[in-house]
Structure 1
Amino acid sequence: MKGKRMLKVLSHFTTTLLFIVLLVTLFSVIAMKASGGEASVFGYQLKTVLSGSMEPEIQTGSIVAIKNANGQVTFQKGDIITFRTNDDMIVTHRIAEVEDGQYVTKGDANDAADAEQVSQENVIGEYTGFTLPYAGYVMNFANSSEGGAILLVLPGVGLLLYSIITIWRALRKIDQSGQEAKTD
Protein backbone atom coordinates (compact mmCIF):
# COMPACT_ATOMS: atom_id res chain seq x y z
CA MET A 1 0.00 0.00 0.00
CA LYS A 2 2.81 2.41 0.86
CA GLY A 3 4.53 1.58 -2.43
CA LYS A 4 1.43 2.51 -4.46
CA ARG A 5 0.99 5.75 -2.54
CA MET A 6 4.66 6.61 -3.09
CA LEU A 7 4.34 5.90 -6.83
CA LYS A 8 1.25 8.10 -7.00
CA VAL A 9 3.04 10.98 -5.24
CA LEU A 10 6.06 10.52 -7.53
CA SER A 11 3.75 10.49 -10.56
CA HIS A 12 2.06 13.75 -9.53
CA PHE A 13 5.44 15.32 -8.76
CA THR A 14 6.81 14.34 -12.19
CA THR A 15 3.74 15.68 -13.99
CA THR A 16 3.89 18.95 -12.07
CA LEU A 17 7.63 19.32 -12.65
CA LEU A 18 7.32 18.71 -16.41
CA PHE A 19 4.45 21.19 -16.63
CA ILE A 20 6.41 23.85 -14.70
CA VAL A 21 9.49 23.32 -16.90
CA LEU A 22 7.29 23.69 -19.98
CA LEU A 23 5.71 26.93 -18.69
CA VAL A 24 9.03 28.45 -17.55
CA THR A 25 10.69 27.57 -20.86
CA LEU A 26 7.75 28.94 -22.81
CA PHE A 27 7.77 32.19 -20.81
CA SER A 28 11.55 32.57 -21.09
CA VAL A 29 11.70 31.99 -24.84
CA ILE A 30 8.75 34.30 -25.54
CA ALA A 31 10.17 37.03 -23.26
CA MET A 32 13.58 36.80 -24.94
CA LYS A 33 12.07 36.89 -28.43
CA ALA A 34 9.80 39.83 -27.53
CA SER A 35 12.70 41.84 -26.14
CA GLY A 36 14.99 41.10 -29.07
CA GLY A 37 17.13 38.65 -27.11
CA GLU A 38 17.67 41.04 -24.19
CA ALA A 39 16.67 39.02 -21.16
CA SER A 40 15.75 41.08 -18.13
CA VAL A 41 15.03 39.95 -14.57
CA PHE A 42 13.82 42.34 -11.84
CA GLY A 43 15.16 45.34 -13.74
CA TYR A 44 18.59 43.85 -14.39
CA GLN A 45 19.67 43.03 -17.93
CA LEU A 46 21.25 39.64 -18.44
CA LYS A 47 24.15 39.63 -20.87
CA THR A 48 26.16 36.72 -22.22
CA VAL A 49 29.94 36.99 -22.07
CA LEU A 50 31.38 35.76 -25.37
CA SER A 51 35.11 36.31 -24.84
CA GLY A 52 37.72 35.73 -22.19
CA SER A 53 38.79 39.37 -21.91
CA MET A 54 37.51 39.66 -18.32
CA GLU A 55 38.78 36.33 -17.02
CA PRO A 56 39.27 35.19 -14.32
CA GLU A 57 36.58 37.44 -12.79
CA ILE A 58 34.05 36.71 -15.56
CA GLN A 59 34.39 33.45 -17.48
CA THR A 60 33.57 32.99 -21.14
CA GLY A 61 30.03 31.68 -21.55
CA SER A 62 28.78 33.22 -18.32
CA ILE A 63 25.67 35.30 -17.87
CA VAL A 64 26.21 38.57 -16.02
CA ALA A 65 23.62 40.88 -14.49
CA ILE A 66 23.88 44.51 -15.54
CA LYS A 67 22.18 47.33 -13.65
CA ASN A 68 20.93 49.93 -16.13
CA ALA A 69 22.89 53.18 -16.10
CA ASN A 70 19.65 55.24 -16.04
CA GLY A 71 21.45 58.51 -16.71
CA GLN A 72 24.15 57.97 -14.08
CA VAL A 73 26.64 60.66 -14.92
CA THR A 74 29.89 59.16 -13.74
CA PHE A 75 31.56 55.91 -13.06
CA GLN A 76 34.90 55.55 -11.35
CA LYS A 77 38.16 53.85 -12.08
CA GLY A 78 37.80 50.14 -11.30
CA ASP A 79 34.06 49.94 -12.08
CA ILE A 80 33.05 47.26 -14.57
CA ILE A 81 30.67 48.64 -17.19
CA THR A 82 28.83 47.28 -20.20
CA PHE A 83 28.86 49.61 -23.18
CA ARG A 84 28.17 49.82 -26.88
CA THR A 85 31.19 50.38 -29.14
CA ASN A 86 31.26 52.49 -32.30
CA ASP A 87 31.00 49.19 -34.21
CA ASP A 88 27.72 48.49 -32.35
CA MET A 89 29.22 45.65 -30.31
CA ILE A 90 28.35 45.23 -26.64
CA VAL A 91 31.40 44.91 -24.38
CA THR A 92 31.86 44.48 -20.63
CA HIS A 93 35.22 45.84 -19.42
CA ARG A 94 36.74 47.55 -16.41
CA ILE A 95 37.34 51.32 -16.36
CA ALA A 96 41.12 51.85 -16.33
CA GLU A 97 40.98 55.66 -16.34
CA VAL A 98 38.55 58.54 -16.60
CA GLU A 99 39.72 61.31 -18.96
CA ASP A 100 37.61 64.41 -19.70
CA GLY A 101 34.32 62.60 -19.08
CA GLN A 102 35.38 59.69 -21.28
CA TYR A 103 36.19 56.21 -19.99
CA VAL A 104 39.33 54.34 -20.92
CA THR A 105 38.39 50.68 -20.59
CA LYS A 106 40.38 47.47 -20.53
CA GLY A 107 39.58 43.80 -20.19
CA ASP A 108 41.28 42.27 -17.14
CA ALA A 109 42.96 39.60 -19.30
CA ASN A 110 44.00 42.06 -22.03
CA ASP A 111 47.49 43.55 -22.21
CA ALA A 112 46.41 47.00 -23.41
CA ALA A 113 43.49 49.36 -22.98
CA ASP A 114 40.71 49.40 -25.57
CA ALA A 115 41.45 51.54 -28.64
CA GLU A 116 38.25 53.59 -28.32
CA GLN A 117 37.27 55.64 -25.31
CA VAL A 118 33.71 55.20 -24.07
CA SER A 119 31.34 58.14 -23.70
CA GLN A 120 28.63 58.19 -21.03
CA GLU A 121 25.83 57.87 -23.62
CA ASN A 122 27.32 54.55 -24.81
CA VAL A 123 27.26 53.03 -21.33
CA ILE A 124 24.43 50.49 -20.99
CA GLY A 125 24.95 49.68 -17.35
CA GLU A 126 27.23 48.56 -14.55
CA TYR A 127 28.16 44.98 -13.74
CA THR A 128 26.51 43.99 -10.45
CA GLY A 129 28.88 41.20 -9.48
CA PHE A 130 26.33 38.47 -10.29
CA THR A 131 27.73 35.85 -12.66
CA LEU A 132 26.20 32.55 -13.71
CA PRO A 133 28.99 30.48 -15.32
CA TYR A 134 28.23 28.58 -18.56
CA ALA A 135 24.56 29.64 -18.61
CA GLY A 136 25.30 32.03 -21.47
CA TYR A 137 25.80 29.10 -23.81
CA VAL A 138 22.27 27.92 -23.00
CA MET A 139 20.87 31.46 -23.35
CA ASN A 140 22.49 31.89 -26.78
CA PHE A 141 21.15 28.49 -27.84
CA ALA A 142 17.66 29.39 -26.61
CA ASN A 143 17.84 32.69 -28.49
CA SER A 144 18.46 30.90 -31.79
CA SER A 145 15.42 29.79 -33.78
CA GLU A 146 16.43 26.11 -33.54
CA GLY A 147 17.20 26.35 -29.84
CA GLY A 148 13.94 28.12 -29.03
CA ALA A 149 11.98 25.47 -30.89
CA ILE A 150 13.84 22.61 -29.22
CA LEU A 151 13.49 24.10 -25.75
CA LEU A 152 9.76 24.48 -26.29
CA VAL A 153 9.20 21.11 -27.95
CA LEU A 154 11.24 18.86 -25.62
CA PRO A 155 9.32 19.56 -22.37
CA GLY A 156 6.05 19.37 -24.31
CA VAL A 157 6.97 16.01 -25.82
CA GLY A 158 8.10 14.79 -22.40
CA LEU A 159 4.78 15.82 -20.87
CA LEU A 160 2.86 14.20 -23.74
CA LEU A 161 4.81 10.92 -23.46
CA TYR A 162 4.37 10.88 -19.71
CA SER A 163 0.60 11.45 -20.15
CA ILE A 164 0.38 8.61 -22.67
CA ILE A 165 2.20 6.23 -20.31
CA THR A 166 -0.05 7.27 -17.41
CA ILE A 167 -3.21 6.74 -19.49
CA TRP A 168 -1.93 3.38 -20.76
CA ARG A 169 -1.24 2.23 -17.17
CA ALA A 170 -4.69 3.37 -16.04
CA LEU A 171 -6.37 1.53 -18.92
CA ARG A 172 -4.35 -1.61 -18.18
CA LYS A 173 -5.36 -1.39 -14.53
CA ILE A 174 -9.05 -1.02 -15.50
CA ASP A 175 -8.75 -3.98 -17.88
CA GLN A 176 -7.14 -6.14 -15.17
CA SER A 177 -9.83 -5.28 -12.62
CA GLY A 178 -12.51 -6.03 -15.25
CA GLN A 179 -10.99 -9.47 -15.92
CA GLU A 180 -10.81 -10.17 -12.17
CA ALA A 181 -14.50 -9.27 -11.85
CA LYS A 182 -15.41 -11.73 -14.63
CA THR A 183 -13.58 -14.60 -12.91
CA ASP A 184 -15.37 -13.98 -9.61
Structure 2
Amino acid sequence: MKLRRVISHTFTFMMVVLFIAVFGSFITSKISGGEPGFYGYQVKSVLSGSMEPGIKTGSIIAIKPFSDTTSFQEGDVITFRESEDRLITHRVIEVVKNELTGQVMYGTKGDNNDAPDLNPVLSANVIGKYTGFTLPYAGYAASFAGSKMGNVTLLIVPGILLVLYAIFTLWRAISSLEEAGKQPKETLSE
Protein backbone atom coordinates (compact mmCIF):
# COMPACT_ATOMS: atom_id res chain seq x y z
CA MET A 1 0.00 0.00 0.00
CA LYS A 2 2.82 2.39 0.89
CA LEU A 3 4.70 1.55 -2.34
CA ARG A 4 1.57 2.29 -4.37
CA ARG A 5 1.24 5.66 -2.67
CA VAL A 6 4.90 6.54 -3.41
CA ILE A 7 4.49 5.53 -7.05
CA SER A 8 1.25 7.50 -7.26
CA HIS A 9 2.83 10.66 -5.82
CA THR A 10 5.89 10.29 -8.05
CA PHE A 11 3.73 9.89 -11.14
CA THR A 12 1.63 12.91 -10.17
CA PHE A 13 4.73 15.03 -9.60
CA MET A 14 6.25 13.98 -12.95
CA MET A 15 3.03 14.74 -14.83
CA VAL A 16 2.73 18.20 -13.27
CA VAL A 17 6.39 19.01 -14.01
CA LEU A 18 6.01 17.78 -17.60
CA PHE A 19 2.86 19.83 -18.11
CA ILE A 20 4.45 22.97 -16.64
CA ALA A 21 7.63 22.52 -18.70
CA VAL A 22 5.75 22.02 -21.96
CA PHE A 23 3.37 24.88 -21.25
CA GLY A 24 6.24 27.17 -20.22
CA SER A 25 8.24 26.28 -23.32
CA PHE A 26 5.21 26.92 -25.50
CA ILE A 27 4.54 30.34 -23.92
CA THR A 28 8.22 31.34 -24.03
CA SER A 29 8.56 30.43 -27.69
CA LYS A 30 5.42 32.37 -28.58
CA ILE A 31 6.59 35.45 -26.66
CA SER A 32 10.01 35.38 -28.32
CA GLY A 33 8.52 35.11 -31.80
CA GLY A 34 8.70 31.34 -32.10
CA GLU A 35 12.42 31.09 -31.28
CA PRO A 36 12.86 28.61 -28.44
CA GLY A 37 15.66 29.67 -26.13
CA PHE A 38 17.42 28.60 -22.98
CA TYR A 39 19.45 31.01 -20.81
CA GLY A 40 20.48 33.25 -23.70
CA TYR A 41 21.03 30.46 -26.20
CA GLN A 42 18.76 29.65 -29.12
CA VAL A 43 17.88 26.11 -30.08
CA LYS A 44 17.74 25.23 -33.78
CA SER A 45 16.89 22.06 -35.69
CA VAL A 46 19.28 20.86 -38.39
CA LEU A 47 17.41 19.64 -41.43
CA SER A 48 20.25 18.81 -43.84
CA GLY A 49 23.50 16.87 -43.81
CA SER A 50 25.76 19.69 -44.99
CA MET A 51 27.66 19.78 -41.67
CA GLU A 52 28.00 16.02 -41.14
CA PRO A 53 29.67 14.19 -39.50
CA GLY A 54 30.01 16.87 -36.78
CA ILE A 55 26.35 17.89 -36.87
CA LYS A 56 24.01 15.10 -37.98
CA THR A 57 20.77 15.61 -39.86
CA GLY A 58 17.86 15.82 -37.42
CA SER A 59 20.00 17.16 -34.57
CA ILE A 60 19.23 20.05 -32.29
CA ILE A 61 22.04 22.57 -31.88
CA ALA A 62 22.49 25.52 -29.55
CA ILE A 63 23.67 28.85 -30.92
CA LYS A 64 24.71 31.96 -29.05
CA PRO A 65 23.24 35.16 -30.53
CA PHE A 66 25.75 37.99 -30.93
CA SER A 67 25.08 41.71 -31.19
CA ASP A 68 28.44 42.27 -32.93
CA THR A 69 28.21 39.97 -35.94
CA THR A 70 31.36 41.39 -37.55
CA SER A 71 33.84 39.64 -35.24
CA PHE A 72 33.70 36.04 -36.46
CA GLN A 73 36.85 34.37 -37.73
CA GLU A 74 37.77 31.58 -40.11
CA GLY A 75 36.81 28.24 -38.59
CA ASP A 76 33.84 29.58 -36.62
CA VAL A 77 30.54 27.85 -37.30
CA ILE A 78 27.76 30.41 -37.72
CA THR A 79 24.03 30.31 -38.29
CA PHE A 80 22.78 32.84 -40.79
CA ARG A 81 19.58 33.78 -42.55
CA GLU A 82 19.73 32.83 -46.24
CA SER A 83 16.16 33.94 -46.85
CA GLU A 84 13.18 35.04 -44.76
CA ASP A 85 12.28 31.47 -43.81
CA ARG A 86 15.58 29.59 -44.17
CA LEU A 87 18.48 29.42 -41.73
CA ILE A 88 21.80 27.76 -42.53
CA THR A 89 24.61 26.67 -40.21
CA HIS A 90 27.99 26.54 -42.00
CA ARG A 91 31.67 27.13 -41.25
CA VAL A 92 33.35 30.46 -42.01
CA ILE A 93 36.14 29.86 -44.55
CA GLU A 94 36.86 33.48 -45.42
CA VAL A 95 36.32 36.90 -43.84
CA VAL A 96 36.05 39.82 -46.27
CA LYS A 97 36.06 43.35 -44.88
CA ASN A 98 35.39 46.37 -47.07
CA GLU A 99 37.82 49.00 -45.78
CA LEU A 100 35.77 51.91 -47.21
CA THR A 101 32.37 50.98 -45.80
CA GLY A 102 33.46 48.77 -42.91
CA GLN A 103 31.01 46.11 -44.08
CA VAL A 104 31.97 42.52 -43.27
CA MET A 105 30.99 39.48 -45.32
CA TYR A 106 31.75 35.83 -44.72
CA GLY A 107 32.54 33.08 -47.18
CA THR A 108 30.98 29.90 -45.83
CA LYS A 109 30.96 26.19 -46.58
CA GLY A 110 29.26 23.15 -45.14
CA ASP A 111 31.81 20.61 -43.82
CA ASN A 112 30.19 17.88 -45.90
CA ASN A 113 29.87 19.99 -49.07
CA ASP A 114 32.41 19.81 -51.90
CA ALA A 115 32.29 23.52 -52.76
CA PRO A 116 31.86 26.75 -50.82
CA ASP A 117 28.49 28.47 -50.71
CA LEU A 118 27.88 30.59 -53.81
CA ASN A 119 26.94 33.84 -52.08
CA PRO A 120 28.89 35.51 -49.30
CA VAL A 121 26.98 36.12 -46.07
CA LEU A 122 26.45 39.70 -44.93
CA SER A 123 27.30 40.11 -41.25
CA ALA A 124 23.82 41.58 -40.75
CA ASN A 125 22.33 38.20 -41.71
CA VAL A 126 24.25 36.25 -39.06
CA ILE A 127 21.99 35.03 -36.25
CA GLY A 128 24.65 33.58 -33.96
CA LYS A 129 27.56 31.22 -33.42
CA TYR A 130 27.33 27.47 -32.94
CA THR A 131 28.30 26.59 -29.36
CA GLY A 132 29.31 22.98 -29.95
CA PHE A 133 26.20 21.57 -28.21
CA THR A 134 24.46 18.99 -30.38
CA LEU A 135 21.63 16.65 -29.47
CA PRO A 136 21.40 14.05 -32.27
CA TYR A 137 17.99 13.19 -33.73
CA ALA A 138 16.08 15.43 -31.30
CA GLY A 139 15.48 17.91 -34.12
CA TYR A 140 12.87 15.62 -35.62
CA ALA A 141 10.85 15.83 -32.40
CA ALA A 142 11.45 19.60 -32.18
CA SER A 143 10.23 20.10 -35.73
CA PHE A 144 7.08 18.16 -34.89
CA ALA A 145 6.62 20.14 -31.66
CA GLY A 146 6.89 23.39 -33.63
CA SER A 147 4.10 22.37 -35.99
CA LYS A 148 0.43 23.09 -35.29
CA MET A 149 -0.24 19.39 -34.73
CA GLY A 150 2.75 19.20 -32.38
CA ASN A 151 1.55 22.21 -30.37
CA VAL A 152 -1.87 20.64 -29.98
CA THR A 153 -0.42 17.26 -29.07
CA LEU A 154 2.03 18.62 -26.51
CA LEU A 155 -0.60 20.75 -24.79
CA ILE A 156 -3.65 18.49 -25.02
CA VAL A 157 -2.12 15.07 -24.29
CA PRO A 158 -0.53 16.00 -20.92
CA GLY A 159 -3.76 17.83 -19.99
CA ILE A 160 -5.85 14.77 -20.82
CA LEU A 161 -3.47 12.53 -18.87
CA LEU A 162 -3.76 14.81 -15.83
CA VAL A 163 -7.57 14.78 -16.03
CA LEU A 164 -7.64 10.98 -16.39
CA TYR A 165 -5.28 10.62 -13.44
CA ALA A 166 -7.48 12.94 -11.35
CA ILE A 167 -10.56 10.86 -12.24
CA PHE A 168 -8.70 7.65 -11.33
CA THR A 169 -7.56 9.13 -8.00
CA LEU A 170 -11.09 10.32 -7.21
CA TRP A 171 -12.55 6.90 -8.09
CA ARG A 172 -9.97 5.18 -5.88
CA ALA A 173 -10.75 7.52 -2.95
CA ILE A 174 -14.51 6.93 -3.30
CA SER A 175 -13.93 3.17 -3.48
CA SER A 176 -11.87 3.19 -0.30
CA LEU A 177 -14.55 5.24 1.50
CA GLU A 178 -17.22 2.78 0.38
CA GLU A 179 -15.08 -0.13 1.59
CA ALA A 180 -14.64 1.57 4.94
CA GLY A 181 -18.41 2.06 5.17
CA LYS A 182 -19.11 -1.64 4.47
CA GLN A 183 -16.91 -2.93 7.25
CA PRO A 184 -18.85 -4.07 10.30
CA LYS A 185 -18.76 -1.63 13.13
CA GLU A 186 -17.86 -2.83 16.56
CA THR A 187 -20.59 -2.62 19.08
CA LEU A 188 -20.13 -2.37 22.74
CA SER A 189 -22.05 -4.91 24.70
CA GLU A 190 -22.22 -5.03 28.39
Which of 29, 47, 54 is residue 51 of structure 2 equivalent to? 54
1:165 aligns with 168
Q: Deviations over 1:98-137 (max 9, x none)?
A: 2333211000111100010012111111100011112222
Q: Normalization by structure 1: what TM-score?
A: 0.91
2:159 aligns with 156
Q: Normalization by structure 2: what TM-score?
A: 0.89
Q: Which is worse superposed, 9-18 or 80-89?
A: 80-89
1:139 aligns with 142
User: In 1, are the aligned partners of 2:79 and 2:129 still within 8 Å (CA)?
Assistant: yes
Following TM superposition, the consecutive aligned residue runs of length 4 or more in structure 1 with deviations greater than 6 angstroms are none
Q: Deviations over 1:7-30 (max 9, x none)?
A: 111111111111111111111112
1:115 aligns with 118
Which of 22, 31, 34 is residue 34 of structure 1 equivalent to? 31
1:125 aligns with 128
State yes or no: 1:75 paired with 2:75.
no
User: In 1, are the aligned partners of 2:69 and 2:126 still within 8 Å (CA)?
Assistant: no
* TM-fit CA distance, 1:73: 2.4
Tell me which amino acid in the other structure corresponds to 2:125.
Answer: N
Give the Cα–Cα distance (whole angstroms) in 1 for the partners of residues 128 and 168 of structure 2.
49
Q: Deviations over 1:70-101 (max 9, x none)?
A: 11422111110011125652110001122333
1:45 aligns with 42
Q: Decide which structure has the larger Cα Rg and report it.
A: 2
* TM-fit CA distance, 1:61: 1.2
User: In 2, are the aligned partners of 1:32 and 1:143 still within 8 Å (CA)?
Assistant: no
Give the Cα–Cα distance (whole angstroms) in 2 for the partners of residues 35 and 140 of structure 1.
17
- Structure having the higher helix fraction is 1
Q: Across the two proteins, how many residue pairs are aligned to each other?
A: 181
State yes or no: 1:5 paired with 2:2.
yes
Q: Which is worse superposed, 6-15 or 92-101?
A: 92-101
CA root-mean-square deviation = 1.7
**Partner SS for 2:51:** coil
Tell me which amino acid in the other structure corresponds to 1:26.
Answer: F
Give the Cα–Cα distance (whole angstroms) in 1 for the partners of residues 117 and 124 of structure 2.
17
Tell me which amino acid in the other structure corresponds to 1:125.
Answer: G
